[in-house]
Chains A and B, each alone.
Chain A
Amino acid sequence: EDQVTQSPEALRLQEGESSSLNCSYTVSGLRGLFWYRQDPGKGPEFLFTLYSAGEEKEKERLKATLTKKESFLHITAPKPEDSATYLCAVQADFGNEKLTFGTGTRLTIIP
Chain B
Amino acid sequence: DSGVTQTPKHLITATGQRVTLRCSPRSGDLSVYWYQQSLDQGLQFLIQYYNGEERAKGNILERFSAQQFPDLHSELNLSSLELGDSALYFCASSVGGGRALADTQYFGPGTRLTVL
Binding site for B on A (CB under 8 A): 31-32, 34, 36, 41-46, 49, 51, 87, 89, 91, 94-104
Chain A positions within 8 Å of B107 at CB level: 36, 43-46
How long is the Cα–Cα vector from A41 to B108 in the complex, in angstroms? 11
A31 to B98, CA, bound (A): 10
Given A41-B112, A96-B56, verify A46-B104 contact (CB < 8 Å).
Answer: yes
Tell me whether A43 and B100 are in contact (CB under 8 A): no
**B37 CB to closest chain A CB, in angstroms?**
9
Chain B interface, DSSP helix/strand/loop, else mixed: strand
| A103 with B98, Cβ < 8 A, contacts A42-B110, A97-B48 known | no
Interface members, chain B 95-116 (any A CB < 8 Å) = 96, 98, 100-110, 112
Q: Which range contains the number of B residues in contact with the other chain? A: 20 to 34
Contact of A32 among B44, B92, B98, B102 (CB under 8 A): B102
Q: Which A residues are CB-close (under 8 A) to B45? A: 98-100
Do the beta carbons of B33 and A46 come within 8 Å of each other? no
CA distance A103 to B43 in the complex (A): 8
A–B pairs, 17, beta carbons within 8 Å: A34-B105, A41-B110, A42-B109, A42-B110, A43-B2, A43-B109, A46-B105, A87-B43, A97-B31, A97-B56, A98-B45, A98-B58, A99-B33, A100-B45, A102-B42, A103-B42, A104-B42
* B74 smallest CB distance to A (angstroms): 15
Please tell me if the beta carbons of B102 and A51 are within 8 angstroms of each other in the complex. yes
Residues of B within 8 A of A102 (CB): 42
Closest to A90 in B: B102
Give B52 Cβ to nearest chain A Cβ, in Å. 16
Question: What chain A residues lie within 8 Å of B55 (beta carbons)?
Answer: 97
Asked if B68 is an interface residue, CB under 8 A from chain A, the answer is no
Question: B90 to chain A: which residues have CB within 8 Å?
Answer: 43-44
List the A side residues contacting B58 at CB < 8 Å.
Answer: 98
Q: Would you give the shortest CB distance from A54 to chain B, in whole angstroms?
A: 16
Q: How far is the CA of A95 from the CA of B57 in the complex (A)?
A: 12
